[in-house]
Structure 1
Amino acid sequence: MLRRTFLSLTAALAPLMALPALAQQSDQAAQGATMLPAPSKSGYAPVNGVEVYYAIYGEGDPLVLLHGGLANIDMFGPNVALLAEGHQVIAIDLQGHGHTLPFDRPMSYEAMADDVAGVIQYLGFEKADLMGYSLGAGTALRVAIQHPGLVDKLIVVSAPYAWAGWHDYNQQGMRSMTPDMAEGMKGTPLYESYAAVAPDVNNFPVLIEKVTAMMMNDYDWSAEVKQIKAPTLLMFADWDAVRTSHVASFFELLGGGLQDALWDGSGMNANRLAIIPNATHYTIFADTRPGEAAIAFLDAPAQ
């Protein structure tokens, strides 16, 4: 009974989770941390009156990588090494996640976007590419909106531009979390990943509480998405937690697919849409196909 309850809960919370919740995916998730290369540099950036953890992998043009909710960089598994082959990957643990403390402030996409912008500036970069998944993708999107001058190219993986873009099931799951669920999650790959790096494992219920409070707020960034100038790649699973109709709307807000591209592709703009087949919101982040698609997008000549 307890296991069935946990699987039901984690399936509902999966848009926030960094590690697959379903039992058959646990082994893959547990291996994620072992696939990470050793960072060339790591530490805490003092930004906005708080300290945000970062780790740097590889060399090349800077690429900021942002994890999903309740997670840390481990969730991307082999994609970190893949992306670091030709880029300087800057992995950031968002407020309350991984190595970063919860802070004495409410959690919001806007505040975390300011944190990310602060880390980019702290590390001395004029601009950086951004790639985020789920909660991290929403944060990356807000960076492009709030700090457009810092963003070179943007990659949004499995996240909507409005709360209504999530399926009803996922909305209900994200808003039903309570701190007392933390105890029942002990021993799971998700909890163990947090416990392995968190400064204080007792902050896990605090993280859940802050994320839940954040999810209570409706949002719709459609007007602001239209103003994004950074070339943007939207990436979703064909069976995602984000509604398919919302994915199409998202691309159209960026001017994508509004007309035929013509034989020579002259009808296209700089934005792209990728649908990963035979994938879900719970598997896409550890699948190397998104990493490969991201590299092709980042390395393509400016249009």
Structure 2
Amino acid sequence: MSYADVNGVRLWYEFHGTGRPLVLLHGGYGSVEMFAPILPALTARRQVIAVDLQGHGRTADVDRPLRYESMADDIGALLRHLDLPEADVLGYSLGGGVALRTAIQHPDRVRRLVLVSTAFRRGGWYPEVLAAMAAQDERVGEQMRGTPPHELYEKVAPRPQDWPRLWAKTGELLRRDYDWSAEVAALALPVLLVFADADSIPVSHMAEFYGLLGGGHRDAGWDGSDRPASRLAVLPGLTHYDIVGSPALPAAALPFLTHEVRAPA
């Protein structure tokens, strides 16, 4: 457990387990503790590097906006700091956006990518979810005092008084439009998309995302020879809010991270 000084940010990271490195990136207003329920399953097979993103958990905020792109550069710089030529990356929700941008911006550093409850464009979320995102500000942050995420932030954050600021900066991030479809289609690494069947993202967007990665265009063939390198998992009985702690998540992710990818003919 330590800090890495990268890009002007003191980025908190933790090592757990042994094996091929797997970077975990938490969701909005969270921290590394978000993965606690599934950490034993992951560390039984992998060396996990769990990170607190800018302004979250033990990583203090700095004088720059919250942006997927800059946080992705932080992860790329962390991998260089740790002298890791490449790693697998798993990101959830906001952390999924950071993970996706890390693969786009630092393709030489990411071997495989797992995106959990992640949209590739802002319009990929349900309208009511977009409305809730747009409403996030300091006032809402004040209303969230006393909730479990706030109690954890109070316990671990270097400056607990920054809680309303985190909500203001996150709201500003979530109101920004984005569409990464062309960059997703150009990705050359295997990607696993994981969603809940009652997620904050419609099934139509899940299918479109998978299609951009080469999936869903043809039958795989009796021997699976036409199977795409990327995969799609829709986990039953879950929502956007409980998928990250479900044992179904490592059960889907670990086989993807270890299987051999068939070389193109």
Q: Same fold, TM exceeding 0.5?
A: yes
1:80 counterpart residue number:
39
In the aligned structure 2, how far is the partner of 1:201 from the partner of 1:181?
A: 16
**Does the alignment pair 1:280 with 2:239?**
yes
In the aligned structure 2, how far is the partner of 1:135 from the partner of 1:166?
A: 12
Match of 2:14, SS state, is: strand
**Does the alignment pair 1:104 with 2:59?**
no
In the aligned structure 2, how far is the partner of 1:284 from the partner of 1:158?
A: 8
The answer to which of 181-190 and 217-226 deviates more is 181-190
2:81 to 119, 122, 130: 122
2:13 to 23, 38, 54: 54
1:209 counterpart residue number:
168
In the aligned structure 1, how far is the partner of 2:99 from the partner of 2:140?
A: 28
In the aligned structure 1, how far is the partner of 2:92 from the partner of 2:50?
A: 12
Percent identity, aligned pairs only, is 46
User: Aligned AA for 1:133?
Assistant: Y
Match of 1:121, SS state, is: helix
1:79-98: CA deviation from partner (whole Å, max 9, x where unpaired): 11210111110001001000
What residue ranges of structure 2 are gaps of 5+ in the alignment? Answer: none
Asked whether the 8 Å contact 2:137–2:169 carries over to 1, the reply is no
Deviation at 1:151, TM superposition (A): 0.4
TM-score by structure 1 length? Answer: 0.85
Q: Which runs of 4+ in 1 moved over 3 A?
A: none
User: Aligned AA for 1:94?
Assistant: L
1:242-269: CA deviation from partner (whole Å, max 9, x where unpaired): 1110000000000001001111111112
What residue ranges of structure 1 are gaps of 5+ in the alignment? Answer: 1-41
Asked whether the 8 Å contact 2:9–2:54 carries over to 1, the reply is no
Q: What RMSD over aligned residues (CA atoms) do the two structures have, in Å?
A: 0.9
User: Aligned AA for 2:17?
Assistant: G
**Does the alignment pair 1:69 with 2:58?**
no
Asked whether the 8 Å contact 2:21–2:48 carries over to 1, the reply is yes
In the aligned structure 1, how far is the partner of 2:45 from the partner of 2:238?
A: 26
In the aligned structure 2, how far is the partner of 1:183 from the partner of 1:141?
A: 30
Match of 1:79, SS state, is: helix
In the aligned structure 2, how far is the partner of 1:291 from the partner of 1:194?
A: 26
**Does the alignment pair 1:176 with 2:176?**
no
In the aligned structure 2, how far is the partner of 1:128 from the partner of 1:228?
A: 16
In the aligned structure 2, how far is the partner of 1:282 from the partner of 1:112?
A: 22
In the aligned structure 1, how far is the partner of 2:118 from the partner of 2:183?
A: 15
In the aligned structure 1, how far is the partner of 2:209 from the partner of 2:244?
A: 20
Deviation at 1:106, TM superposition (A): 0.7
TM-score by structure 2 length? Answer: 0.97
1:154 counterpart residue number:
113
**Does the alignment pair 1:241 with 2:209?**
no
User: Aligned AA for 1:127?
Assistant: E
Deviation at 1:169, TM superposition (A): 0.5
**Does the alignment pair 1:141 with 2:100?**
yes
Deviation at 1:178, TM superposition (A): 1.6
Match of 2:108, SS state, is: helix
1:161-186: CA deviation from partner (whole Å, max 9, x where unpaired): 00000000000001101212233222
Q: How does 1:181-196 map to 2 (within 5 A)?
A: 181-196=140-155
